[in-house]
Amino acid sequence: MLLNWTEDKGDPYHKVEYRYEVKQYEIQTLDYEEYTQKFEELTSNETNCFSIHFPLSFYLWRICKITDPIFLELLSGKYYNNEYSDFESITDFNENPEDIEIDFATPLLVYSSYPFQMAVEIKIFPLRETAIRRQGESIPYNLYTPGYIIWQISLAYEGIYKNKWKEVGVWGHEFADLAFGSIKLYPGNIIKVNLES
């Protein structure tokens, strides 16, 4: 999947095109024993995580409709415009008080079990951004932002509801019911997501 937009820095010599490349997420099911084992040690010390809490406006089905990288930055709290007021801005990882570092070279492992009979592991790959300058110079680097992460989680959930609902045992809630409650970032590129309905 490729996303593209061009940003003009205000003078022709500083015009930069940003090209974005997104690798497809991967989903694996876990039984509850595996899921519990993975989080026993992590959750025994909740001070060793960074939490982001969301207002109820963050419905997964609405986030799935995003196709423009500017929206992803909006969701990360970098931009706010009345045109996009359906979403409230959220904190950025730069405000992480615990200084938990994300390794931008490796995937994030996202764990959730709601509303399923089995837990799921969603592997999210970094957003690859390449800045292409007018002179032809290109500068590639990897990104993880809160907006990008919740967009990928939303797309993965949409995929589960369309293609894996029997395998995971969806119960009690349609995809349209689900909204983000919080995500917790742990050392080692691990995220636990809590959804509400």
DSSP three-state, residue 187 = coil
Q: Give me 154's structure tokens.
A: 């939303």
**11 falls within a domain:** no
User: Which range marks the domain in which residue 183 is found?
Assistant: 26-126+144-196
In a domain, 135, yes or no: no
pLDDT for 3:
53
Q: What is the pLDDT of residues 73-96, one digit of tens each?
A: 766 655 444 344 445 555 555 555
Q: Which two tokens stand for residue 29?
A: 């099911």
The answer to whether residue 120 sits within a structural domain is yes
Domain assignment present for residue 173? The answer is: yes
Per-residue model confidence as pLDDT tens digits over 34-59: 778 777 766 666 667 788 887 767 88
Cβ contact 115:197 at 8 Å: yes
Q: Percent of the chain at pLDDT above 70? A: 72
Give 150-160 pLDDT, tens digit per residue.
Answer: 999 999 999 99
Whole-number pLDDT of residue 114: 87
Give yes or no for residue 20 having a pLDDT over 50. yes
Q: Is residue 14, in this structure, part of any structural domain at all?
A: no
Q: How far apart are the C-alpha atoms of 184 and 108, rounded to whole Å?
A: 12
Tally of domains within the chain? 1
* Structural domain contains residue 13: no
